[in-house]
Amino acid sequence: MGPLKIGIAGLGHVGCGLIELVERQQNLRLPGEVKITGVSARSQSRNRPVDISPYRWFDDAATLAEDPDVDVFVELMGGSDGPAKFAVETALKAGKHVVTANKALIAKHGMALARLAEEKQVDLLFEAAVAGGIPVVRVLRDSLAGTEVKRITGILNGTCNYLTTVMLEQGREYEDVLAEAQRLGFAEADPTLDVSGMDAAHKAAILSAIAFSADLDFSKVSVSGIDKVSLLDLRLADRLGYRIKLIAEGVLTDDGVVCRVEPLVLPASHPLARVNGSLNTVRIEGDPVGAITLTGPGAGAGPTASAVMGDVAKMFRPAIRPAFGRAAHHTGRPFVQGAPTEVAPFFLRVYLPDQPGALAALTEALAKEGVSVDKLLQESGEESGAAPVVIITHRCPRANMQAALERLEKIAKPIDAPRLIRIEAAS
């Protein structure tokens, strides 16, 4: 067997990490030799931790993608559209196998690219697009092919998990911890994609499409980030035995697949509540296996490059199977917009005026809407005259909670917008 010839488009942290792995492949368990026959990036002269001079340079990624001396095109450029999308399409049309770490591209255009790959009888692999070094795509698509998945939950953004962990452990406000994370390189200069929940949403959509044989439609994914979660919320939840985490979720309903990302309140004993720092974790629930949890580094040059190399290794004997593992006989399911109609316990934090009757007005508003209180915690009033109150409710419809808050507005106006977060059941 001759060497497997790859072309690498994108020479950032992951691209350079992949080159390092290729250059020390004698220490890896690959089925054969991998040879880099071309590289491409926005700048050839940029200072990089690896020497790219031994490799043919291509100014244009699409030209590299269709080069006759490339067996596998590795796309590490990023971006859901533009050059990355065009280069991947070019490679597939040229009959090249494609490996990508581009979660935004797969979340937005994965279905169309998968159809093109199937038409051209080539593989499209994207293990590195979700959860870095955790092999969750392969586990879902291959290892759990005999499992009927019911639900996927996970912590899919290490930046958000790092922020909430440090805020609680060190008692520091969000803006302070974020600034430090940026200085240390744990967060991007523009952290919007991470803290808004969009990064986790891309990954959740991909996993949901695989798990449920669903037609990936990212426009139906509901997204809410952690940028509005305060230190006070984290601290009060902790005092009551809970943790607040940004949770990605895909669940199969009668109408279709509901995929969403939002902060959830978890009992401290919950498996996801115990995952701290920048780690990622994915919990897969299905029949007949029950629940499986995978935890590990969800980002970074090394783990992501390792996942890319794992996909490259599969190309020595391409499977030529549907990219999302969905065959023609599988039941196709749509993505649907999840309506906020769930019945669950809720965490409610509200600032009330520090005056007689305010707390009574809150409990009265809840009672009028049929909401039963499980736990209540009130802290001393602040200098502003506001008293933070946290209530843990028994299970009730979200609509009842919203109605109670509207009622509260009329009889004892809160000092700021209440924080309402769904509580995940203990597991």
Alpha helices in 240-343 (DSSP H): 301-314
Q: Considering the candidates 85, 96, 108, 203, report the single residue annotated as catalytic.
A: 203
Instruction: Give the pair of three-digit tokens for residue 417.
Output: 């917008």
CB 77 within 8 A of CB 52: no
Q: Distance from first CA to last CA of the chain, Å, rounded?
A: 49
Rounded-to-integer distance, Cα 167 and Cα 68, Å? 52
User: Which is nearest to 324 in space by CA: 212, 249, 248, 221?
Assistant: 212
DSSP β-ladder status, 148-155 and 279-287: antiparallel
Rounded-to-integer distance, Cα 36 and Cα 312, Å? 12
Annotated catalytic residue 410: no
Single-letter amino acid code for the residue at 418: P
CA 294 to chain CA centroid, nearest Å? 14
Single-letter amino acid code for the residue at 219: S
Q: Compute how many other C-beta atoms are within 10 angstroms of the C-beta atom of residue 378.
A: 16
**Residue 100 β-bridge partners:** 75
DSSP code per residue over 61-106 = HHHHHT-TT-SEEEE----SSTHHHHHHHHHHHTT-EEEE--HHHH
**Residue 248 β-bridge partners:** 154, 261
**Residue 423 β-bridge partners:** 265
Helix axis angle, 158-170 relative to 231-239, nearest 10°? 70
CB 77 within 8 A of CB 315: no
Instruction: Give the pair of three-digit tokens for residue 11.
Output: 């020479």
Is residue 317 helix, strand or coil?
coil
CB 234 within 8 A of CB 228: no
Which runs of E-coded beta strand occur in 217-278? 222-223, 242-252, 257-267
Helix axis angle, 301-314 relative to 13-23, nearest 10°? 60
Q: Nearest 5 degrees, angle CA 305-CA 311-CA 313?
A: 100
Active site residues per annotation: 203
